[in-house]
Chains A and B, each alone.
Chain A
Amino acid sequence: MTVLPFDFVPLWTVILGFGVFYYVLFDGFDLGVGILYGFAPDRAARNLIMNSIAPVWDGNETWLVLGGVGLLAAFPLAFAVILPAVYFPILVLLLALVFRGVAFEFHYRDVEHRTFWDHAFCYGSALATFAQGVVLGAFIQGFQVDGRQFSGSAFDCFTPFSLFTGLALLFGYGLVGTGWLIMKTEGDLQNWARRLGRYCFTGVLVAIVVVSLWTPLAEPYIAHRWFAWPNIGFLSPVPIITVVLAFWEWRSLNNRSEAAPFIGAIGLFLMSYFGITISLWPMIVPYKFTLWQAASAPSTQAFLLVGTLFLLPVILMYTGWSYWVFRGKVRADIGYH
């Protein structure tokens, strides 16, 4: 094994951190849109809602694979410990995504069973979201580890806290989903999205408050991180910015802003993401292994970095271009722009 004179861990942390946030945000809004689909008033509205994410959803979902193999490649110990620990949420997530993915096509192709595929789309989106929320909650609570392996039961991950974060994520993805729909639709449908957005926002606000209180109370590690001096001074901008963003989000859901609710929701997600990162840093398997302990060999990280640094920017540019092509309001007919 050659010893490379460079620590790749910070770079891979940034890449993976970015990848996870990208996934949460982008698949988040289209999973959210999938959940809202179930509440749509009629067939015409449902078609518009599905159209609004049809060109982009599968690109978003591919980031889940990149996140999975990225974690395996950069921090394999975390991959090996966390995945067996969240065995059932991952199973539900994968199966729900299969259903939801094929529902996009089968919904049009298999007209005899359209209602079934409608349900597959909506419940698949909701289940996938809930499962991700449970994974998040279980992750924050930490896992029972023996040596380099998870040693608890596959059902340990279902706790009151993780079920709560599962529910919370339904509101969270719902909020970004309504933000997306407000941006992509007009008229009655947009008003409908604003109304649902206000419900989701309320849920998100409750969730942020509860999680912010629950985690430091339950985990001394997290309490110490936030409330010990001088951290409390340095970190105070995080809750302050969150409060400002929350006010702004509520206002833009109630006035005529088109893009602001989506941007505000992104902001709230980003602050929550920072909050969790600050709480757990530098742990990748909370309270057991740090990023450096879980990292793969430098030669492994270097070998993968070469291709990643070349291919990732191209993928991002092309994805950006795709969104640009599909900018503007979605319409009922197929003349999309």
Chain B
Amino acid sequence: MSTTAATFSPLLLSRLQFAWVIAWHILLPAFTIGTASFIALLEGLHLVTRRDIYFRLSTFWTRIFAIAFGMGVVSGIVMPFQFGTNWSRYADATANVLSPLFAYEGIMAFFLESAFLGVLLFGRKLVPRWAHFVAALMVALGTLFSAFWILAANSWMQTPDGYVVIDGRFFPADWLRIIFNPSFPYRFAHTVVGFYVTTGFVVIGVAAYYLRRGRFAEESRVMLSMTLWLLTVLVPLQIFLGDQHGLNTLQYQPAKLAAIEAHWTTGARVPLILFAVPDQATATNRDAIEIPDLGSLILTHDPNGTVRGLKDWPRDQWPPVAIPFFAFRIMVGIGLLMLALVAASWWLRVRDRLQAVWFLRLCELASPAGFVAVIAGWTTTEVGRQPWTVYGLLRTADSVSPALTGTDVMLSLAGYVLVYLLIYPVGLTMMARVVRRGPAEAPEEPIASGRPEGPVRALPVASTEDSP
């Protein structure tokens, strides 16, 4: 295929479009899933300790949660329609197996939204304290259920199980094996903990922002200290889960792992490649910086272990190498920097210097780190799955809607790019405003739309609290 034809092919453009809409969408669950659990934790602490500060913090994070959740709903509506408009052959082939998982996600998210979000956002003065805690807990559970179903579907595409193929289409044979397919437990744990860590770094970033400016000192100290304890558990746990997930990939998607590590030839005692410029055409690495034997040690937990290289597979089954190779290193690099920051916090805590200016500045700088790591990790696993939509069974090239032209998809991609580049900065500005105002109890300006519940419309929390 010539370069221009490939550039403007409906297949490549459809992939770009999907990457675009899902990358923007995933930022929101990455934050709301963590925030929902954090709010439930604060509500629980408030219930048990009766300390007013947890109440103020919970109210503050609920305000930010409401904006992010609303944007998540709006950008999420786009997602299921992509399967139909751009990936109709994939939809036709996989629907019998995957559609109930998507549908359960939709129904459960809706159920949670209609039943508990209203109480969480607007019911503080209308229901007893314990009921408000239960609502927060249910919202947190609901967001986890959404992640459960979507990641079950995604994992099935990575490591399909429990199906039969009839006339080129997948049919369900065993629902438990479809849902709990081999990579699902690892992906679910790694993703959810990753989302928690992402939120944790946002929280310490906000706390550090206030502390450096001498605002909301009490609230910020609690946020900083508490969240650093949480991250003390979560960051090492996440590194462990990542390792386990990697071993699972080695077992079920060895070609993806070879791409991640830029291993071209099969061998024992393979090095760990820290950096290189992988060249797919010649199947070699340039400018490689390697540590001997460490690759085998990490991947097989044995320095003499054999690791398969991409040349074991026909070329038309190779994923792109450079993208997962670099994305994976960005993710791991951020993970290690996060660990360093958490380790620094232990050292400072012992010396009671947690509010050292240089450390607060680091916390502020690190606040978006989780989002970068999430996108990098997602890129690693999704690009590494190529050239398949259903691993080893259905090619991405055979999944795209057959009637689409390059022009069609170019137009739609341009539309999504323009609209998202307008909406996201505005939404981010709104959240930044809530942060700047801080966790004080000062009511906002009255808002013309009085309403007790719901996501996008749920922004004016403070005002409605004053007038139930």
Contacts and interface: CB of A to CB of B under 8 A. Distances in A.
A64 B80 CA distance: 10
A64 B455 CA distance: 16
A328 to B, nearest CB: 12
A69 B99 contact: yes
Interface stretch (A165-173, A254-262, A293-301): A293-301
A73 B452 CA distance: 33
A319 interface: yes
Interface stretch (B195-203, B213-221, B299-307, B412-420): B412-420
24 contacts: A51-B449, A54-B451, A69-B99, A84-B403, A90-B85, A97-B74, A98-B74, A98-B423, A102-B426, A108-B449, A108-B460, A109-B430, A154-B403, A297-B172, A300-B100, A307-B107, A315-B111, A318-B114, A318-B115, A322-B114, A322-B118, A325-B452, A334-B449, A334-B467
Nearest to B449: A54
A83 B85 CA distance: 5
B77 A94 contact: yes
A159 to B, nearest CB: 17
- Most chain B beta-carbon neighbours within 10 Å: one of A82, A84, A308, A325: A84
B106 A83 contact: no
A76 B70 contact: no
A47 interface: yes
Contacts of B73: 58, 62, 101
Contact of B95 (A79, A99, A108, A150): A79
B450 interface: yes
Contacts of B114: 59, 315, 318-319, 322
Contacts of A72: 80, 83-84, 91, 95, 99, 102-103
Contacts, number: 249
A144 to B, nearest CB: 8
Contacts of A122: none
Nearest to A2: B173
A50 B449 contact: yes
Interface string A100-116: 01101110111000000
Nearest to B419: A95
B459 A150 contact: no
Nearest to A82: B84
Interface residues of B, number: 77
Given A55-B454, A319-B114, A335-B450, 16 more contacts: A1-B166, A62-B113, A83-B83, A83-B88, A83-B91, A91-B415, A95-B419, A105-B457, A108-B448, A149-B88, A154-B408, A299-B172, A300-B99, A308-B103, A315-B115, A325-B452
A85 B85 CA distance: 8
A70 interface: yes
B292 interface: no
Contact of A106 (B76, B107, B426, B464): B426
A336 B450 contact: yes
Contacts of B404: 84, 87, 154
B447 A108 contact: yes
Nearest to B427: A102
Nearest to A143: B403
B65 to A, nearest CB: 14
A150 B88 contact: yes
Contacts of B85: 83-84, 87, 90-91
Contacts of A303: 100, 172, 175
Nearest to A46: B448
Interface in A195-228: none
Contacts of B427: 102
Contacts of B111: 311, 314-315
Interface string A62-74: 1011101110110
Contact of A73 (B103, B173, B423, B453): B103
A314 B115 CA distance: 8
